[in-house]
């Protein structure tokens, strides 16, 4: 699919990998709706790229449906969904006090990262399936964001790894399911990227993380994620696949 002239939705578009992807889509000529829980950040990005900002909670059915409708009212129906919103925590199964980790903490991460991704995907797909087919019968494309933690999660990453592993597991069946509607689904599993979250870590920690990446031994640039996300949209034969983007990194246990 050509990105130029298409309407696109970017969840988590107010920061980090989502922000870079929103900017790249706009550079390539898409009309971009920046969907984020944090409206101020979404507005900052949307203003810069001539898009619109919509406060959205991806894990809430009404909020996500309203965002899809509002974006369509401004830009026309979207054929591109970049799902990049996500949260992460680390928590040992048994705390220092000997008590089990709170169940709510696990549920919250799964709710945003996994259920939120499914929620946005199902609502986007239902709207997209009604559009006219383009070349090859294609109607739209979705990109999900997992993590290398889906495969080699570290100590304490139970919830995060489970949520991202769920996104990985959902990719192929959703691509198969939506094939009849001409909607493609791929997932990117990033390694370690230089986003605001990462930059809050002390410099020595960032350096040691970067050194653990075989090549190139530096944190990934958000623009590198954005380029791949946009390539997935334009390459019509990429479907049902999970692509690691990690400089050959394999995370150690801790
Ligand atoms: N940065 C990395 O190294 C890295 C590595 C692997 C995977 N990832 C994944 O990439 C994605 C982006 O990460 P990032 O580093 O850019 O993080 P970030 O915190 O900079 O951006 C995430 C954005 O998602 C938004 N968000 C959170 N919950 C939301 C919700 N319920 N509804 C809508 N928006 C919500 C936040 O407000 C934020 O703007 C996440 O899914 C993360 O798990 C990041």
Instruction: Set out the domains of the chain in order of their start, with CATH numbers.
Output: 7-245 (3.40.50.720)
Give mean pLDDT, residues 80-86.
98
Summarised one tens digit per residue, pLDDT across range 90-100 is 899 999 999 99
Q: What does the mean pLDDT of the chain come to?
A: 97
Catalytic annotation present for 118: no
Which pairs from 63-68 meet CB under 8 Å and 24+ separation? 64/119, 64/120, 64/123, 65/123, 67/9, 67/33, 67/35, 68/9, 68/123, 68/124, 68/127
- The contacts of residue 233 (CB under 8 Å, 6+ apart) are 1, 3, 80, 141, 143
Tens-digit pLDDT profile for residues 185-224: 999 999 999 998 788 788 888 888 899 999 999 999 999 9
Q: Give residue 21's pLDDT.
A: 99
pTM value is: 0.98
Q: Which residues line ligand 1 (CB under 6 A)?
A: 11-12, 14-18, 36-38, 41, 56-59, 84-88, 112, 116, 145, 147, 190, 192-193, 195-198
Q: What pLDDT, on the 0 to 100 scale, is given for residue 140?
A: 98
């Amino acid at each position: 699919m050509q990105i130029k002239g298409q309407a696109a939705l970017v969840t988590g578009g107010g920061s980090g990998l989502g922000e870079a992807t929103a900017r790249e889509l706009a550079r390539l000529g898409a009309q971009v709706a920046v969907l984020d829980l944090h409206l101020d950040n979404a507005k900052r990005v949307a203003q810069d790229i001539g898009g619109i900002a919509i406060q959205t909670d991806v894990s809430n059915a009404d909020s996500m449906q309203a965002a899809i409708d509002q974006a369509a009212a401004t830009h026309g129906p979207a054929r591109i969904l970049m799902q990049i919103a996500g949260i992460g925590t680390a928590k040992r199964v048994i705390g220092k006090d000997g008590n089990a980790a709170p169940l709510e903490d696990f549920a919250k991460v799964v709710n945003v990262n996994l259920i939120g991704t499914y929620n946005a995907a199902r609502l986007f797909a239902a709207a997209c399936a009604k559009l006219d087919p383009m070349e090859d019968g294609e109607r739209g494309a979705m990109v999900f964001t997992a993590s290398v933690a889906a495969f080699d999660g570290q100590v304490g990453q139970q919830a995060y790894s489970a949520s991202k592993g769920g996104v990985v597991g959902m990719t192929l069946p959703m691509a198969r399911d939506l094939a009849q509607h001409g909607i493609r689904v791929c997932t990117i599993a990033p390694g370690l990227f230089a986003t605001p979250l990462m930059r809050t870590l002390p410099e020595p920690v960032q350096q040691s993380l970067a050194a653990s990446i075989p090549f190139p031994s530096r944190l990934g640039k958000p623009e590198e994620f954005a380029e791949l996300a946009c390539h997935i949209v334009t390459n019509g034969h990429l479907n049902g696949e999970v692509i690691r983007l990690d400089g050959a990194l394999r995370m150690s246990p801790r």
